[in-house]
Amino acid sequence: MQRPLPREAFLQADTYAATRLPVDHATSLIPDAYTSPDFHALEQERLFARTWVPVCLGSDIAGPGDYTVVEVAGRSIIVCRNGSGELRAHHNVCRHRGARLCDGAGKTDRLLHCPYHGWAYDLDGNCRATPHFVPGMVASDARFDRSEMSLHAVRVAQWAFLVFVCLDPSAPGLEEALGDLPARLSGYPLEQFRVTRRREYTIAANWKLVAENFVEYYHLPLIHPALLPVSPVEAHYRWQGRGKYSGLCTWPVGSDTADGGWKGLPPAPGVQGRDAESARFAWIFPTAGISVTANHVFVLIARPEGPERTSESAFILTHPDSEAASPDAEADIDTLIGFWDTINREDIAIVERTQCGLRNPAYTGGRMCHRFEEPCHRLQNMVIDAMLGIERTPAGDDAETARRLGPPYGAT
Ligand code: FES
Ligand SMILES: [Fe+2]
Query: Is the distance from CB of 289 to CB of 310 less than 8 angstroms?
Result: no
Query: Is the distance from CB of 272 to CB of 209 less than 8 angstroms?
Result: no
Give mean pLDDT, residues 151-180: 98
Give mean pLDDT, residues 43-69: 98
Give the model confidence (pLDDT) of 323-352 as tens digits: 999 999 999 999 999 999 999 999 999 999
Alpha-carbon gap, residue 52 to 45, rounded angstroms: 13
Beta strands in 125-213 (DSSP E): 127-129, 155-159, 162-166, 194-203
Query: Are 327 and 287 contained in the same domain?
Result: yes
Alpha-carbon gap, residue 316 to 313, rounded angstroms: 10
Query: Are 76 and 182 contained in the same domain?
Result: no
Alpha-carbon gap, residue 30 to 307, rounded angstroms: 14
Residue 18 lies in a domain: no
Give mean pLDDT, residues 199-211: 98
Sheet with 53-57, side-by-side order of all strands: 53-57, 162-166, 155-159
What's the 354 CA to ligand 1 centre distance in angstroms?
45
Give the model confidence (pLDDT) of 128-153 as tens digits: 999 988 767 778 788 888 999 999 99
Stronger pLDDT, 401 or 125, i.e. the higher one = 125
Query: Are 118 and 260 contained in the same domain?
Result: no
Work out which ligand 1 atom sits closest to the CA atom of 119.
3
User: What is the pLDDT, as a whole number, of residue 410?
Assistant: 74
- Express as a percent the part of the chain with pLDDT over 90: 86
Alpha-carbon gap, residue 132 to 138, rounded angstroms: 9
Query: Are 152 and 185 contained in the same domain?
Result: no
75-81 and 155-159 beta bridge pairing: unpaired
Residue nearest to atom 1 of ligand 1 (CA): 97
Residues contacting residue 128 through CB under 8 Å, at least 6 positions apart: 111, 120, 121, 122, 146
Query: Is the distance from CB of 78 to CB of 102 less than 8 angstroms?
Result: yes
Query: Are 184 and 140 contained in the same domain?
Result: no
Query: Is the distance from CB of 90 to CB of 154 less than 8 angstroms?
Result: yes
Q: DSSP assignment of 92-142, as one string?
A: SS-TTT------SEEE-SSEEEPTTT--EEETT--EEE-TT-SBTTB-TT-
Give mean pLDDT, residues 356-377: 94
Residue 163 lies in a domain: no
Alpha-carbon gap, residue 129 to 113, rounded angstroms: 9
Q: Best substitution site from 93, 101, 119, 121 to test ligand 1's pocket, by max atoms within 8 Å of Cβ?
A: 119
Q: DSSP assignment of 215-249, as one string?
A: H--TTHHHH-TTTTTTS-GGGEEE---SSSEEEEE
Lowest average pLDDT, out of 59-63, 76-80, 91-95, 229-233, goes to 229-233
Residues contacting residue 136 through CB under 8 Å, at least 6 positions apart: none
What's the 341 CA to ligand 2 centre distance in angstroms?
11
Residue nearest to atom 3 of ligand 1 (CA): 117
Stronger pLDDT, 78 or 217, i.e. the higher one = 78
User: What is the pLDDT, as a whole number, of residue 143?
Assistant: 83
Query: Are 66 and 208 contained in the same domain?
Result: no
Give mean pLDDT, residues 347-364: 97
Residue nearest to atom 4 of ligand 1 (CA): 117
User: What is the pLDDT, as a whole number, of residue 70?
Assistant: 98
CATH of the domain at 137: 2.102.10.10
Query: Are 83 and 203 contained in the same domain?
Result: no
Q: How many CA atoms lie within 13 A of 284 on its CB side?
A: 31
Alpha-carbon gap, residue 69 to 79, rounded angstroms: 6
Residues contacting residue 324 through CB under 8 Å, at least 6 positions apart: none
Residue 28 lies in a domain: no
What's the 134 CA to ligand 1 centre distance in angstroms?
15
Query: Are 149 and 231 contained in the same domain?
Result: no
pLDDT band at 156 (very low <50, low <70, confident <90, very high): very high
Give mean pLDDT, residues 105-126: 96
Give mean pLDDT, residues 167-182: 98
Choosing from 101, 126, 157, the residue where a domain stops is 157
Residue 10 lies in a domain: no
**Which residues lie with the beta carbon below 6 Å from any ligand 1 atom?**
94, 96-99, 114, 116-119
Residue 386 lies in a domain: yes
User: What is the pLDDT, as a whole number, of residue 411?
Assistant: 61
Query: Are 217 and 107 contained in the same domain?
Result: no
Closest ligand relative to 343 C-alpha = 2
Alpha-carbon gap, residue 166 to 52, rounded angstroms: 5
Give mean pLDDT, residues 393-399: 95
Q: Best substitution site from 90, 113, 117 to test ligand 1's pocket, by max atoms within 8 Å of Cβ?
A: 117
Q: Is the pLDDT of residue 16 over 80?
A: yes
Q: Best substitution site from 92, 96, 121 to test ligand 1's pocket, by max atoms within 8 Å of Cβ?
A: 96
Beta strands in 257-401 (DSSP E): 279-284, 288-292, 296-306, 309-318
Query: Are 92 and 153 contained in the same domain?
Result: yes
User: What is the pLDDT, as a whole number, of residue 192?
Assistant: 96
Choosing from 126, 157, 188, the residue where a domain stops is 157
Closest ligand relative to 92 C-alpha = 1
Residue 30 lies in a domain: no
Number of domains in the chain: 2
Residue 309 burial (10 A CB sphere; 0-12, 13-18, 19+)? middle
Give mean pLDDT, residues 373-394: 97
Q: What is the rounded radius of gyration, in angstroms, for the C-alpha atoms of the chain? A: 23
Work out which ligand 1 atom sits closest to the CA atom of 95.
2
Give the model confidence (pLDDT) of 238-269 as tens digits: 999 999 999 999 999 988 888 888 888 999 99
Q: Is the pLDDT of residue 377 over 80?
A: yes
Q: Rounded to 5 degrees, what angle do the CA atoms 270, 271, 277 make?
A: 155
Residue 248 lies in a domain: yes
Alpha-carbon gap, residue 205 to 33, rounded angstroms: 12
Encode 24-61: b = buried (16+ Cβ within 10 Å), e = exposed: eebbbbbbbbbbbebbbebbeebbbbbbbbbbbbbebb
Alpha-carbon gap, residue 119 to 97, rounded angstroms: 10
CATH of the domain at 299: 3.90.380.10
Query: Are 310 and 221 contained in the same domain?
Result: yes
* Residues of the domain holding 231: 178-405
DSSP single-letter state for residue 257:
B
Alpha-carbon gap, residue 320 to 195, rounded angstroms: 10
User: What is the pLDDT, as a whole number, of residue 412?
Assistant: 63
Residue 75 burial (10 A CB sphere; 0-12, 13-18, 19+)? middle
Q: Best substitution site from 76, 90, 92, 94 to test ligand 1's pocket, by max atoms within 8 Å of Cβ?
A: 94
For the whole model, what pTM was predicted? 0.97
Closest ligand relative to 149 C-alpha = 1
Query: Are 201 and 138 contained in the same domain?
Result: no
Residue 170 lies in a domain: no
Alpha-carbon gap, residue 368 to 70, rounded angstroms: 35
Q: Is the pLDDT of residue 85 over 80?
A: yes
